[in-house]
Amino acid sequence: MVATGCIPESIRKDSLFGELGYNRYYRAGLAYMQAYITIHKNVVLNPGYLYFIYKRPGQPYGQEHFVMPAVIFQIPVRKILIEDRNMLWNRIRTIMRLFIITETG
């Protein structure tokens, strides 16, 4: 499972994170990347990208791309950090049928 925003405050400034995963039972894999870019002390850009690929038995091969641009507004109040996370998920999905060409004589 991918959890966005669960990064400790001490390592969140201008950083890039990534994860890879594969599930043999579902024949599915994913790659996830996320960045934190501070443009102001109270504004952080948080772009993310997720690539998901799968092949179910008897089904066509599929892949999905998720582009997740986000902006985080932060307001520190004493020892508490109040955040407003604004994320938009754009999903691009493709289904492919694999063709096998055989030569007969």
Q: Is residue 4 part of a domain?
A: no
Rounded to 5 degrees, what are φ and ψ at 10? Answer: -70, -25
Q: For the chain, what is the mean pLDDT?
A: 79
Confidence band of 12 (pLDDT split at 50, 70, 90): low
Residue 54's domain comprises: 9-96
pTM over 0.95: no
User: pLDDT tens, 23-54?
Assistant: 888 889 999 999 999 998 889 898 999 999 98
pLDDT of residue 27: 87
Q: Work out how many domains the chain is built from and give that number.
A: 1
- In-domain check, residue 2: no
Q: Is 5 left (phi over 0), alpha (psi -120 to 50) or beta?
A: left
Query: Does residue 68 belong to any structural domain of this protein?
Result: yes
Residue 10 pLDDT:
47
